[in-house]
Structure 1
Amino acid sequence: MIDEICNAIVRGESVKLSSFATFQVRDKNERIGRNPKTGEEVPISPRRVMTFKASNVLKQRVLKAHTARKTRQKVQAPAS
């Protein structure tokens, strides 16, 4: 299954995994970047990049787990 997903992304197709995320490939144009160490401007060549967009279901699960962890930490913290 992973191979099929990878192959579809390589072909430039959008892959949506319900309740998880969407993977897409997009083209980025050539642009001028800057070397942070020297300040020198350098051209960045055009390329294709993959984007990952989490579904709302996944975002909510992560937020819920984070909130629960914060609550447990408060309960377990020693009294000062």
Structure 2
Amino acid sequence: MRHDKIHPVDRTEGPVLPEYIPIADVPKTSGQHDRFDLLGVVVHMEDVRQVTYKSGKVADVRDINIVDESTGTRPMIISAWGQLATSD
């Protein structure tokens, strides 16, 4: 006879599923570590440009315009920095 134990699921293990929200529900300003799951269509990507900080450090940045049903024709502009700006 087999005796199996049932264990509670640890939410920190296993796949993390996205919790999509409409783009229009993203706050106008957010903190550096805030994360949002979005599903939309990229309608335009700017070329990568370089920004120079006051300290002299140079960083790559690219603006990406995305829309979904909640935004109509007004895209959200996301700025990707560093490696995110230059990766395909």
TM-score, length of structure 2 as denominator length:
0.22
Structure of larger gyration radius: 1
Higher fraction of strand: 1
Higher fraction of helix: 1
TM-score, length of structure 1 as denominator length:
0.23
